[in-house]
A = this chain, B = another copy of it.
Amino acid sequence: MKLEDIAKKLGLSTSTVSRALSGNGRVGEKTRKRVLEAVKEADYTVNAVARSLRLRDAKNIGIIVPDITNSFFASVIKGAQGACRENSYTLMVCNSDESAEIEEEALRTLLEKQVSGLIVATVSNRPEGVLSYRRLNIPVVFIDNMPTEFDVVDSVSIDNRAAACRLTREMIARGYGRIGTITGPLTQSSGRLRLRGYEDALEDAHIARDAALVFEGDFRFSSGYALMRSLLARQDRPEAMLIANNYMAYGALNAVREMGLRVPEDIAVAAFDAEDHTGLISPLIASINQPTFEIGFQSAEIILQKLSGRSQPTEHHRIVLEPTLSDGNSW
């Protein structure tokens, strides 16, 4: 069923029918009504593929995330969807499975599908990978992990450094000495910046850094678990730990419990994005929570703004949102 069929049935030309449907161009009132009726009766659906080709605009936005199953990204996607829907754009979601290769493949696919814009939580840290995003002539917004030279790209994020500093400072204020951290991969900006924030707080409090208190994890449950186990086995264990994300915090707390230690008496813990949606997690983890939905929504908004000309392609948006701090009994 195509436009032409409707046109024939009504003795009109395809152009008139097209105009009647799109609202572009003058069409007689009666004609418009007839067309609308015929369309409804025939249950006609426009072919967006043909339209996109003609308009050279597919009206869709791509988003690439490492793991859609991670509630952080799921919620970001939901936010982006919301913004897209409001503007009649479609969101094409790709999962990179934390693999730079799959990410590249996803990028290629999305470009072939002619996405008008792209939101990406890249896992690629080879500058060459990030570069491939910069070569694109469509709006690209980075979330979660920023390329090194992130002053020249669009991004939506929280101030990871300040947030980590805030948590660490609070632990210092609560009287914990020997505060350590399990970081994310230091190849990722979120990992690096959260470490920096931790260091900032120590410095502010005139506490000497101790490299033996810093452990690089990979954002997964298993690394939080393993690192916590090994660090608790030492005789000079830390009194408190800043843990760079939710999964590692869960792993770490399982390790603590297995070793028969108590939180926060034996070791205190604070983390990123460890919000408890069940109300059943124990201990309740002190946590910095990113405004995930908002991150997705605003990312899509930036793209939509550029596409609609409300914002210049060359103008760089670096949106920094406020996280919330949820208290817990883990510190």
Q: Which residues of A contact B (CB under 8 A)?
A: 43, 45-50, 52-53, 58, 60, 67-69, 71, 74-75, 77-78, 81, 85, 90-95, 102, 105, 108-109, 111-114, 135, 250-251, 253-254, 277-283
Which residue of chain B has the shortest Cβ distance to A70 in the bound complex?
B74
**Bound complex: CA of A95 vs CA of B253, how far in Å?**
34
7 contacts between A and B (CB under 8 A): A45-B112, A46-B112, A47-B114, A50-B53, A68-B78, A85-B105, A254-B280
What separation, in Å, do the CA atoms of A78 and B111 have in the docked complex?
Answer: 21
Question: CA–CA, A50 to B50, complex, Å?
Answer: 8
* Cα distance, A138 to B91, chains bound together (Å): 21
Copies of this polypeptide in the complex: 2
Contact call B81/A48, Cβ cutoff below 8 A: no
Q: Which of B45, B71, B112, B278 contacts A48 (CB 8 A)?
A: B112
Bound Cα distance from A282 to B283, whole angstroms: 10
Select the residue from A74, A102, A135, A254 with max chain B CB neighbours within 10 A. A74
The complex places the Cα of A312 from the Cα of B217 at a distance, in Å, of 49
Contact A49 B95 (CB under 8 A): no
If A47-B114, A280-B253 touch, whether A81 touches B109 (CB-CB below 8 Å) is no
